[in-house]
Amino acid sequence: MGTLKNLFATNKPKSEEKIFEKSEEHREQIRITYYQSGYAASQKATGKSIVLKTCLENVYHSFENQCKNQEVEQIKLKQPFQEEKERQNTELKKLETLKGIQEGKAQNYRDKIELAKSDIVKVRQNPEDFGIDVDKNPKVLLYIGLILLIPITIYLFVFYISASYSSFFKIFTDDSLTAAIFDANALTDAFKASWLEGILVTTIPFVFLGLGYLIHMMQKSKSVISIIKLIGLFMITFSFDGLLAFIIEKKIYDFNRTPTTPDFNFSIAIKEPEFWMIIFAGFVVYLIWGLVFDFIMKEYDNMDKINAFIRSKKEEIKNIFTQKNKVLESIDELKKNITVVDGKISELQAKINGFIFPIKEYLLYHSQYKEGWFQAIGTEIALPAKQKNELLSDCEEVCQVHLSSLNLNNFKNQNVIFS
């Protein structure tokens, strides 16, 4: 084996340390040198294929070592990869900066959501802290008002159904005040007499409840016109109750009247305690109903203010969730891009850390060396034609196996990078 190495060393290409120089004249000189080296080595080895295998390996390793040792040329060849790495590093910094900004936005949205949820809990306990002027625990006050309002409403329905039936339709057969104001059979008797009569006495209480609702609505406005209207509504309600009391009292008076008794009039009515009893049994309770109703509506408004605040906060949370999800989607996309760029940087760094092998240039010199070897077999070695052809075929196979073992027979690029 030492003899074979000396054989190759005798014909080693000159000026190998300058193999990457770009001078065409120098390249031609190197090409000729490889040709001559192959020719001389083949002549001394009598063209043996086993010697060719060793010589080709020495040519390859010698060329490879020169590539590794030529630092300036390697730096020059790696410059495009270094520049691309710098561009990718800049892109990576930009993506990481954007990711940091988006993560800050996402955290800000999370903080806003938590604050809104906290406000929803706190507004029920301390609504004044959020600029809502309401009583504390309006729901409790509302329920108390409803507990009072429902039986009062039932009372008013019973009273006005009975009073309206007594004043409009009833024929008195009893002079007691209880029978005049409250008739247990007023509703059934009214429907027995006529369905229109029944509807009338049933709907009259709604007239008073409607007046109470109007009074509540008028109280919301503090203008002079609203106050005048409010006073007018109270006077109408009082007058209505007064007329009912007057008619009922007149029927009682006429039932007890004697031939010498004067005709019933307003001056007589106001002197009768039953007249005022009927008014206050209806009007005063009606005023109480109106005050309780107004109180309930006020507490409902208070609850509605809180509920409106809560609804606005829930809508705000919904909008923030939408914005946060968009930011999270952009963060995921940025993470994917960062991973891609990191992969490119790692790939480029691997290329920079390796060395660039000018494969086409090596194949050119390999071809020249092989040509010199084959030329020596054809001209310098005395063998029969058949043996010479077999030798050339064996040498060709050795060359192909050599390139195949190095994976150099399918490359189409000028250079290949070994990490």
Q: What is the residue whose two structure tokens read 């007249």?
A: 275
302 and 380, same structural domain?
Answer: no
Per-position DSSP letters for 257-278, written without gaps between them: --TTSPPP-HHHHTT-HHHHHH
Q: What is the mean pLDDT of residues 126-133?
A: 72
356 forms beta bridges with: 417
CA distance 410 to 23: 27
Burial class (CB in 10 A: 0-12, 13-18, 19+), 378: middle
Q: How far is CA 299 from CA 133, 137, 144, 151, 303, in A?
A: 11, 9, 10, 19, 6
Does residue 185 fall inside a structural domain? yes
Nearest-Å Rg of the Cα atoms of the chain is 56
Q: What is the residue whose two structure tokens read 């949205």?
A: 109
Residue 31: how many other CB atoms lie within 10 Å: 18
Does residue 326 fall inside a structural domain? no
284 and 150, same structural domain?
Answer: yes
Question: What is the DSSP code (8-state) at residue 15?
Answer: S
169 and 309, same structural domain?
Answer: yes
143 and 63, same structural domain?
Answer: no
Residue 416 has pLDDT above 70, yes or no: no
More confident: 74 or 36? 36
Specify the range with the lowest mean pLDDT, choosing from 18-32, 68-82, 270-284.
18-32
Q: What is the residue whose two structure tokens read 């009259």?
A: 204
* Number of domains the chain is built from: 2
Amino acid 167 reads S
CB 37 within 8 A of CB 372: yes
357 forms beta bridges with: 416
- Of 25, 14, 22, the C-alpha closest to 62 is 14
234 and 136, same structural domain?
Answer: yes
pLDDT tens digits, 244-275: 777 777 777 776 666 666 776 777 777 777 77
211 and 301, same structural domain?
Answer: yes
CA distance 119 to 125: 10
Q: Which two tokens stand for residue 99?
A: 């990711």
More confident: 304 or 379? 379
Which of the listed residues 296, 313, 330 is the one where a domain comes to its end?
313
CA distance 73 to 356: 9
Q: What is the mean pLDDT of residues 151-162?
A: 81
Question: What is the DSSP code (8-state) at residue 356?
Answer: E
Mean pLDDT of the chain: 77
405 and 301, same structural domain?
Answer: no
Does residue 108 fall inside a structural domain? no
155 and 73, same structural domain?
Answer: no
Q: What angle do CA 409, 372, 6 make, to 5 degrees?
A: 95
CA distance 198 to 316: 53
Residues in the chain: 419
CA distance 78 to 355: 8
Does residue 74 fall inside a structural domain? yes
Amino acid 23 reads S
- Tell me the pLDDT band of 193, cut-offs 50, 70 and 90: confident
Residue 19, pLDDT score: 39
384 and 244, same structural domain?
Answer: no
Does residue 392 fall inside a structural domain? yes
Per-position DSSP letters for 276-324, written without gaps between them: HHHHIIIIIHHHHHHHHHHHHHHHHHHHHHHHHHHHHHHHHHHHHHHHH
CA distance 306 to 125: 10
For residue 40, the enclosing domain spans 2-85+338-418
Q: What's the predicted TM-score (pTM) here?
A: 0.47
Does residue 101 fall inside a structural domain? no
As a whole-number percent, the residues of the chain with pLDDT over 90 amount to 9
More confident: 14 or 117? 117
161 and 275, same structural domain?
Answer: yes
3 state DSSP class of 61: helix
Specify the range with the lowest mean pLDDT, choosing from 130-134, 144-148, 284-288, 368-372.
130-134
Does residue 40 fall inside a structural domain? yes
359 and 296, same structural domain?
Answer: no
281 and 241, same structural domain?
Answer: yes
Q: How far is CA 250 from CA 170, 201, 256, 268, in A?
A: 12, 19, 10, 9
Does residue 90 fall inside a structural domain? no
Q: Which two tokens stand for residue 226?
A: 């609203």
Residue 119: how many other CB atoms lie within 10 Å: 17
Q: Tell me the CA end-to-end span of the chain in Å, nearest whole number.
A: 30
Q: What is the residue whose two structure tokens read 């900004």?
A: 101
CA distance 57 to 8: 11
Give phi and psi for 58, each to the nearest 5.
-65, -40
